[in-house]
Amino acid sequence: MLLLIAISVLPLLVMFVSRNPMLVLCAFPVSEMVGVFAQDYMFNAGGFDFIPMDPAFFFAFAYLVVSVLRYPRKVAGVLKENIFLTVFLALAGLYVVIYTPIYGQSAIGEARKFYGFFLFPLLALLVIKKREDLRRFVQITILAATLVAIVALGLAPMRGSTIKVVSAEGALMIALAAFAMLIHRFHGVVVFHPMTDRVLLFLFAAVAISLGHRSVWLAIGFGLMLVLWLYFVRPVFVVKFVVVLLMLLMAGGAGLVYFPEVGARLGEGFAGIIDPYADETASWRIQGWTYQLESLQESGRVLFGNGLGSYYSWKFGDEIVTVFPHNAYVQLLLKFGLLGFITYILLVFHFFRRLLAFRKRLRPGRMKVYIEMGIVTVGAVHAYMFGYGFDLIPLIYFGVAISAAKLLQREVGQPHLVSRISTRLIGRQGIPAPIVTYGSPRLDAQSSG
């Protein structure tokens, strides 16, 4: 009976989300937030295990199918412009087809759990059609991170510490939101309200660090280096950066004095970063990476990998370990081989190359914030990936950044907009209007976005 009702209702839901695709887009950060607190929850129906992210995946896939049927040229254009993303998704789909007969549902489950996230940037490019859509989506993403941070603070008194009260995925969600707020502050762009933005920035920074996930600390450290690199030519920024960093260090030092047990646990975490073999958790992971990569080489599958659904297995002491390797790069090599690894590297290289070219030509404003936000967050997460696999939240910021670039390209093809921008430049600054051609990223003349 329930199955018949579901079959009857689903077409109506697909029609509804096809007319309101922003709901599908916003379902991803909300589902990520739910997944942080229901990470191990699965609902079984018809022999299949469903996770909190599955409804978002289903409606995203349904919207993409409808878009292909209704706007084939538009979809083809997006796929062509993002060729490496397209190739990576096609490779994942091909591996599902090849290895499902061999490994069964585990091939589908692994693709859904780790690589289905790559559908999100494609969905964002098709759904986001104006700047207001982008602004609201960023607000929802940051609100989702805010709820994770508040719940983490609420759990701390019950656990006696903030250390790992939420998963590494939740801590990463908070850390990347901190970078998003920081870049908004640098440009003087308001997300919610000036005072609210300041509070959220310090809340995100404090919670992300105090949660004690070493891989997230690596992401924070690398992200700060990227921020310093982006703004190093601005002396005022460098001074503010140093002052804020010193304030955070002083606040952290005072906290360690009042909470020595937390300080001891954080010290153990930092020791594990400096010398991974001194930490048992890090050492068994490293041993697992080495053993499995050697096995891959001996099997002669270096080029194409073992395929989706294949099982992890290595021996650590007297114990047989079968969990995933906690390293996205090793995971890529094991599953897709050098073919998938190189495709992913080209995807990331194309992303940074394109956005850095846009950034050089953009005036300060909201759209430049989104470009720089993507550069910092996506760059930072590649340090995190040395300790964990792929996650949705960095691909959300990936989608925001390339959607901003797409909007800028689309706007420059509108003569009335170019004329309006040129008039504003002449009126406000008394300078000749820039010559802008289609496809040029010299676009954003609006200081407030």
- Per residue in 383-421, pLDDT (tens digit) is 999 888 888 999 999 999 999 999 988 776 554 443 344
The confidence score (pLDDT) of residue 439 equals 38
As a whole number, mean pLDDT of residues 43-58 equals 70
Report how far apart, in Å, the C-alpha atoms of 18 and of each of 52, 61, 62, 66 are.
21, 11, 8, 7
Locate 90 and state its tokens: 């096609």
Locate 314 and state its tokens: 């290595």
pLDDT band at 375 (very low <50, low <70, confident <90, very high): very high
Predicted confidence (pLDDT) at residue 47 exceeds the cutoff of 70: no
As a whole number, mean pLDDT of residues 74-85 equals 92
Give pLDDT tens digits for 108-141. 888 888 888 899 999 999 999 899 999 999 999 9
The phi, psi pair for 387, rounded to 5°, reads: -120, -10
Q: Which of 42-46, 100-104, 273-277 has the lowest mean pLDDT?
A: 273-277
pTM here? 0.82
The confidence score (pLDDT) of residue 400 equals 95
- Count of Cβ atoms closer than 10 Å to residue 297 Cβ: 11
Q: How far apart are CA 10 and CA 18, in angstroms?
A: 12
Helices (H), 104-130: 105-110, 119-127
**Identity of residue 281:** T
The confidence score (pLDDT) of residue 8 equals 64
Q: How far apart are CA 220 and CA 212, in angstroms?
A: 12
Give pLDDT tens digits for 201-239. 989 988 998 888 888 989 998 998 898 888 877 666 667
The confidence score (pLDDT) of residue 377 equals 96
pLDDT band at 42 (very low <50, low <70, confident <90, very high): low
Predicted confidence (pLDDT) at residue 46 exceeds the cutoff of 70: no
- Give Cα 443 distance to the centre of its chain: 25
Give pLDDT tens digits for 150-170. 999 888 888 877 788 888 899
The confidence score (pLDDT) of residue 16 equals 72
Q: Across the strands, what pairs with 438?
A: none
Higher pLDDT, 342 or 156: 342
Predicted confidence (pLDDT) at residue 64 exceeds the cutoff of 50: yes
Predicted confidence (pLDDT) at residue 200 exceeds the cutoff of 70: yes
The confidence score (pLDDT) of residue 416 equals 43
Kindly list the domain boundaries of the chain, sorted by start residue. Answer: 2-277+322-412
Predicted confidence (pLDDT) at residue 262 exceeds the cutoff of 80: no
The confidence score (pLDDT) of residue 444 equals 44
As a whole number, mean pLDDT of residues 142-147 equals 95
As a whole number, mean pLDDT of residues 336-353 equals 94
302 neighbors 265 (Cβ within 8 angstroms): no
Locate 360 and state its tokens: 């050089």
Predicted confidence (pLDDT) at residue 347 exceeds the cutoff of 80: yes
Q: How far apart are CA 228 and CA 238, in angstroms?
A: 7
Helices (H), 212-327: 214-231, 235-258, 260-274, 280-299
pLDDT band at 422 (very low <50, low <70, confident <90, very high): very low
Question: Residues near 204 by Cβ (< 8 Å), separated by ≥ 6?
Answer: 145, 149, 174, 175, 177, 178, 181
